Each structure stands twice: as structure tokens, then as C-alpha cells.
A and B are shown apart, each in its own frame.
Chain A
Amino acid sequence: AQKVTQAQTEISVVEKEDVTLDCVYETRDTTYYLFWYKQPPSGELVFLIRRNSFDEQNEISGRYSWNFQKSTSSFNFTITASQVVDSAVYFCALRQTGANNLFFGTGTRLTVIP
């Protein structure tokens, strides 16, 4: 069985604040892949990052950073110095080895207030 939990349904922050979006997953596989996608108001899902289960190195890309911890089955996403353009729904997703598709969490709606 697989499950992705994004407990935060909605978050509001003031511009320039840092914000962390939580993602907790469940899987019985030892090999799997984790993803984050951004869905702005236009509706398109924009790929942000892919991480495989063997690579626990944290990653930073500009104002974005990801913290992958297998011990707690978490793959959290932090936006530093948030901007209004960061306002969107963010989805965490899991793909098990041999699975044909991504299994998504329910998403976190982030609103950045100017």
C-alpha cells in the first residue's frame, strides 16, 4: 500500500517569510521515487524535483530546498524569502518501483501575501 500525506491544507505567509510544506509518505518498497509539483492558477502541474530513495542528500535550488529523511518517511519542501509568485498549490507525489503512475498527496495551497 502507498500513501502520501500533506497535512497542511492551506498556508498563508507574508512575502519574504520562509515557509515549509510537509510531506509524509508510506510505502513497502525499498526503491521508490518522490516528487514535488507546483500547480499555479493556470492549472498546469510544474515539475520541481525528483528524488530517488537511495539519495538522501538534501537539495537546494535557488530559494527552494528539500529535506528528505527516510527515517521519518518525510520529504519536506522549504521556500526561503517567499514571493507572491510562489502562490500555488503544491503536490507531493510517490512512485513505487514497478508502478505505472504517480500517487499524489492532496496538496497544500500556499498563499503569499504582499
Chain B
Amino acid sequence: GAGVSQSPSNKVTEKGKDVELRCDPISGHTALYWYRQSLGQGLEFLIYFQGNSAPDKSGLPSDRFSAERTGGSVSTLTIQRTQQEDSAVYLCASSFNGHGTGNTIYFGEGSWLTVV
């Protein structure tokens, strides 16, 4: 597609429920990234995919967070047993290539998650 597409745009969920956030990267981009932006905070790196592999999961905050990517394209970020501190904007991004390059990383509009 023309840009990075994320869904849902907004999600309100009850504490303890699982949520799935979806990202469709720019066509042809092999690298995909998930970031989190909490209210008033900067951007926190979560995970990086090169193709379907995730060589860097160092930013995932707990084992309740997981992500997968299939077909080298769409990625899903899953948060299990959501907590209120998970409330944030989850931003997906993609680039033509990833590791070791200065390729520009393009971001989607984010999925705004609120845990009540």
C-alpha cells in the first residue's frame, strides 16, 4: 500500500482481556518495527522483524507481549491479559531494509489502546 496501515485505530478493552493489533507495512518493505508511545513519553522500541523473523525482541516489556509476521508482510502484536499500564499508542513502522542500514523508517498512524 501507499503507507503503513494499522488497525484498529482505537481500541478500548477491559483489564485482563487479550488484544491484537495489526500492521500492514509498505509494499516491498522487508523490515517491520513496533514501537510504543505512552502518554507524555517518548517512543519505546518493542520488536523488529526482518522478513518473518524477529531477530530483535529486546524491547518487549513482558512475556504478555508477543508479535508475529507472516508472508513477510502483515504483522500482529498481541497483548495478553492487558493491564492499565499497557494503555498507549502502538506504532508500527517499516523500511526497505533493516539491520545495518540507514534506510528511512516510515510510520503508521498508530493504534490507540486504552485499558479500563
Partner of A42, one of B42, B56, B109: B109
Partner of A44, one of B42, B48, B109: B109
Partner of B98, one of A33, A45, A52, A100: A100
Binding stretch for chain A, among B66-74, B78-86, B100-108: B100-108
Question: Given A102-B45, A104-B43, is A33 in contact with B102 using a C-beta cutoff of 8 Å?
Answer: yes
Expressed in whole angstroms, the minimum distance between the Cβ of B73 and any Cβ of chain A is 19
Flag if B110 contacts A44 (CB, 8 Å).
Answer: yes
* Residue in chain B with minimal CB distance to A34: B102
A98 to B48, alpha carbons, bound, how many Å? 13
Q: Which residues on A sit within 8 Å (CB–CB) of B33?
A: 100-101
Flag if A44 contacts B56 (CB, 8 Å).
Answer: no
* Residue in chain B with minimal CB distance to A51: B102
Query: Would you call B91 an interface residue if the criterion is a C-beta within 8 Å of the partner chain's C-beta atoms?
Result: yes
Q: Which residues on A sit within 8 Å (CB–CB) of B59?
A: 101
Chain A positions 34-62 with a Cβ under 8 Å from a chain B Cβ: 35, 37, 42-47, 50, 52
**Count of chain A residues near B, Cβ 8 A:** 24
Flag if A98 contacts B45 (CB, 8 Å).
Answer: no
Flag if B55 contacts A43 (CB, 8 Å).
Answer: no
The bracket for how many chain B residues form the interface is 20 to 34
Flag if B43 contacts A98 (CB, 8 Å).
Answer: no
Q: Which residues on A sit within 8 Å (CB–CB) of B93?
A: 45
Flag if A43 contacts B89 (CB, 8 Å).
Answer: yes
User: When each residue 87-99 of chain B gets 1 if its CB lies under 8 Å from chain A and 0 otherwise, what string results?
Assistant: 0010101000011
A72 to B48, alpha carbons, bound, how many Å? 31
Flag if B112 contacts A43 (CB, 8 Å).
Answer: yes
Q: Provide 19 A-B residue pairs closer than 8 Å at the C-beta atoms, listed in order of the A residue.
A: A35-B104, A35-B105, A43-B91, A43-B109, A43-B110, A44-B107, A44-B108, A44-B110, A45-B93, A45-B107, A47-B104, A52-B102, A97-B100, A100-B33, A100-B55, A101-B33, A102-B45, A103-B45, A104-B43
